Amino acid sequence: MLSALAQAVKSALPSLRRYACALVGSTRAGDCYVEICLETIVQDTGRLSSRQDVRLALFKVFHEVICVFEPMLIEQRGTILESDTMQHRIVELPFRMRQALLLAFLEEFSCAQISEILDISADEVLADLTAACGMLMGQCRAGVLTLEGDAMAAIAHHTRHAPLGIAGAQI
């Protein structure tokens, strides 16, 4: 039978794998970094305890591990994915911005939690998120068909998407 700590780590692993794969742009490479993270925890059992938020602590250990490999990740980026995909655009973001963006929007951590994971201030997290979103919005434009009287037309314009037209509502 698994201990409470082992059970908590087990239940957090799918989200850590998803994050790792999105961060590095490859399932295989992401899984390798997750494996290194788990080996680190096994070697230093004091890094996690059942008295803390295990998922948060697991992501923090993963961050410490991945930062050792950051120069190699920067060198490899751009060679992993097709250049015309959103995932490629995310992988091309500066490393810390990419981490903040994925932790916030993919893993739904709060700014305070991201600050703890990345060991930076909440203001730095907000600045990174703002910059990353701005960079992505500048690269992506899509045509949007809105409904008559729909507030999406204003949102589409604000986010630089091109309104294609307004569809009338028929009852």
pTM of the model as a whole: 0.74
Question: Do 125 and 162 share a domain, yes or no?
Answer: no
What's the rounded Cα separation, in Å, for the pair 163 and 146? 7
Question: Do 31 and 95 share a domain, yes or no?
Answer: yes
Amino acid (1-letter code) at residue 157: H
Question: Do 101 and 128 share a domain, yes or no?
Answer: yes
- CATH code where residue 108 lies: 1.20.140.160
Helix 122-139 / helix 111-118 crossing angle, nearest 10 deg? 100
Question: Do 66 and 129 share a domain, yes or no?
Answer: yes
How many domains are contained in the chain? 2
Model pLDDT for residues 100-121, shown as the tens digit of each residue: 999 998 899 999 999 999 999 9
18 Cβ contact list (under 8 Å, min separation 6): 106, 107
Question: Do 145 and 135 share a domain, yes or no?
Answer: no
Question: Do 76 and 8 share a domain, yes or no?
Answer: yes
Model pLDDT for residues 39-69, shown as the tens digit of each residue: 998 898 788 777 789 999 999 999 999 988 7
Question: Do 76 and 150 share a domain, yes or no?
Answer: no
Question: Do 80 and 45 share a domain, yes or no?
Answer: yes
Question: Do 170 and 133 share a domain, yes or no?
Answer: no
Domain range for residue 119?
A: 4-139
Question: Do 87 and 103 share a domain, yes or no?
Answer: yes
69-73, 133-137, 157-161: which has the minimum mean pLDDT?
157-161
Question: Do 131 and 54 share a domain, yes or no?
Answer: yes
Question: Do 170 and 102 share a domain, yes or no?
Answer: no
